[in-house]
Structure 1
Amino acid sequence: MTRILFYLDDYPHDIWRECIHAIDPTVEFIGNPDWGSPDDGDAYAFVWEPEPGLIKRYPNIKAVFSLGAGVDHILCDPDLPADIPIIRMGDEGLKEGMAEFVLMNVLMHHRKTPELIAAQRQHHWKRVFSLAAKDVRVGILGYGALGSRAAAALKPLAYDIAAWSRSPKPEEAGISHFTGMEKLNEFLARTDILVGLLPSTKETENLLDFDRLSRLPEGAAVINAGRGSLIVLDDLMALLDSGYISGASLDVFPEEPLNENHKIWDYDNVVITPHSAAITRPDTAAEYVLRNIKRLENGETPENLLDTNLGY
């Protein structure tokens, strides 16, 4: 019998149990804090922001599934066993949600929606001019499963799309690829709307500082739905203040939740969402976890297995 040890604080577990059992009613689904004893038998952990030391206390855990695409909430545990497999979430619902978020925000900055909303607040009848989509250069920073799905959502509107990746990607129609740090500045220089989808690693921390953000063309907009550590927030604010950056959509921040007194809340040209760009859906996540448990049980490599050397 498959055993799943589930951890999600301050949120009902019933919907997750129901979705797991809709696929396989024989699964023993055990929600924290009732994980029982390590002697109860092999199990798989399915978690979001587990308390430090929890995984170590259960040596019967064969692998850890993250409830989200990010794994920094697991890796920050100083007592995490070094050899335990960690699987990032990569279900269809997460990809669909991110594609929707990116499409919505690219359109908002392309059509200058924050500017129009600010005018509405002032009761100002203001018309703005927008370029045709084919003349708007969108750059996707991070081209994994989420980035490629976002690009697929943008393609039908004929945006001029480019993608930057750490490692080479296969050529594809409608996407210009840039690879490696030596090509990052060139990628930024051709990007009118930047979409950040990079994971949190040592290499990506504070990657977009004042200098790199200044490589974008004047008037560019910035969307970040990857990790808050990607952007130096004070540097972005300075460029927003100067008018060099026209606007931003920020779903993630260096510290969450964002302090209620932070100045960026009051920027008319910034859209803030509470780390909700792509929320893991219980139905598609259940299918994904059970499919990959089966792969592990068959001695196969699971999808989106964390590479500890790369950090994603």
Structure 2
Amino acid sequence: MRVLYAAPAAGWDEWAPALQAACPEMELLRDGDPASFDALIYAPGYPEDGSTLDFSRFTRARVVQSLWAGVERIVTNPTLTQPLCRMVDPGLAQGMAEYCTGWALRAHLGMDAFAQDGTWRNALVPPLTTERQVVVLGMGEMGRSVATMLSGIGFAVTGWSQSGRPVEGIAMLGGASLDQALARAQILISLLPDTARTRDLLNHQRLMQLPEGATLINAGRGTVLVEADLIAALDAGHLGHAVLDVFRTEPLPPTHPFWSHPKITVTSHVAADTRTVTAAPVAAANLRRAMAGEPLLYLVDRSRGY
């Protein structure tokens, strides 16, 4: 099968060997006649001249496999009629779970309260994890991985998704129960995608529904959060801290107020990364499924945007 590597050239040296090792029957190319390709491997930033990719020219392509978990930069392309599959990478899910668990534990244990200033703070004893309510917004592959890891070390975890679909071992809420979920979230973790329904979801009204002193960890998409409303909630003392890994503008400008706010920790979109060793086999499986006419893995629902 002929496959176009429709991704920025900077990643070729890393991705090409991994993809070809996972799918040796594939001829992976960086250019050629669009009508000659059976599939596309896609990542945002392509074409690199800033133009919009015209998928209508790929008349033979049976699948577009994204290398990213998020597909918001491609799903609205009106020329895209081929099946689109997002990347669900086991390494990506594990990395996200480790990031969220690390920061949740830091908030839970109150690690930042122990300034190394010679003061003995023997009264700062944290509760057990079983006494701490954590809510995960967005219970896709990564959300389930995060919730499972947190639950495994004792946290009282509730998951929320639009569907409210059951997840084994996790208390689930859905749809109209968002207010109920927020009201119990001493630690709120947002892993929601960027869709019309989720944009600006965490506004002033919803942030104020969180328990006083709550911690927000946003590792999903920056568009979910109204930035000015977060700063206001922190300044008012209602929220205790925010750990932010994703932003409306990336890289986050050096002058942005998040950098200097004493109650905000900025990380540079490092919560989770697609790893070639675990992602390439996922792409290979979908290429084979497409060629065999079999159901595709992680097919994007265009009406939902993910």
TM-score (ref. length: structure 2): 0.91
**Structure 1 unaligned regions, length at least 5:** none
In 2, Cα distance between the equivalents of 1:191 and 1:136? 9
- Which moved further from structure 2: 252-261 or 262-271? 262-271
Deviations 1:145-164 (A, max 9, x none): 11111111112211111011
Q: Residues 95-146 of structure 1: CA distance to partner in whole angstroms, max 9, x if unpaired? A: 1111111111111111123444xx35xx464633322111100000111111
Query: Given the superposition, is the C-alpha separation of residues 153 and 236 from structure 1 closer, same or farther in structure 2, using an over 3 Å criterion?
Result: same
1:153 & 1:269 partners in 2: Cα distance? 26
The amino acid that maps onto 2:264 is V
Question: What's the counterpart of residue 27 of structure 1?
Answer: 26
Relative to structure 1, the CA distance from residue 105 to residue 25 in structure 2 (aligned partners, 3 Å threshold; closer, same or farther) is same
Task: State the secondary structure of the residue aligned to 2:65.
Answer: strand
Q: Number of residue pairs matched?
A: 300
TM-score (norm 1): 0.90
Matches within 5 A, 1:254-293: 254-293=248-287
Matched residues in 2 for 1:42 and 1:138: separation?
44
* Residues in 2 aligned to 1:55 and 1:39: alpha-carbon distance in whole angstroms: 12
Q: Report 1:1-312 matches (<5 A).
A: 1-8=1-8, 11-31=10-30, 35-51=31-47, 52-56=51-55, 58-60=57-59, 61-75=61-75, 77=77, 80-116=78-114, 119-120=115-116, 123=117, 125=119, 127=121, 128-170=124-166, 172-173=168-169, 175-180=170-175, 182-312=176-306
| CA shift for structure 1 position 304 | 1.3
CA spacing shift, 1:40–1:177, aligned 2, 3 Å: closer
1:260 CA displacement: 0.7
Q: Counterparts of 1:65 and 1:200 in 2: how far apart (Å)?
A: 19
For the 8 Å contact 1:115–1:268, the answer to whether it is kept is no
Cα deviation code 1:205-231 (max 9, x no counterpart) = 000000001000000000011111101
Deviation larger for 223-232 or 148-157: 148-157
Code of the residue aligned with 2:4 in structure 1: it is I
Report the aligned-residue RMSD: 1.9
Secondary structure in structure 1 of the residue aligned to 2:63: strand
Q: Is the 8 A contact 2:2 2:37 kept in 1?
A: no
- The answer as to whether partners of 1:7 and 1:50 remain within 8 angstroms in 2 is yes
Equivalent AA in structure 2 for residue 143 of structure 1: M
Question: 2:3 corresponds to which letter in structure 1?
Answer: R
Q: Which runs of 5+ in 2 are unaligned?
A: none
CA distance in 2, matches of 1:93, 1:203: 28
Displacement of 1:255 in angstroms is 1.4
The question of whether the paired residues in 1 share the 8 Å contact of 2:2 and 2:29 is answered with no
Amino acid at match of 2:53: L
Say which SS state the counterpart of residue 249 (structure 1) adopts.
strand
How far does residue 57 in structure 1 lie from its aligned partner after superposition? Answer: 6.7
CA distance in 2, matches of 1:130, 1:105: 15
Percent identical: 36
Contact 2:4 2:37 in 1 (8 A): no
Per the TM alignment, residue 39 of structure 1 is displaced from its structure 2 partner at its CA by: 4.2
- Mapped to 2, the partners of 1:20 and 1:110 lie a distance apart of 40
Q: In structure 1, give the amino acid aligned to 2:70.
A: G
d(CA) in 1 for partners of 2:216, 2:133? 12
Higher mean displacement: 35-44 or 291-300: 35-44
Name the CA shift for 1:229/1:124 in 2 (closer, same or farther; >3 Å).
farther
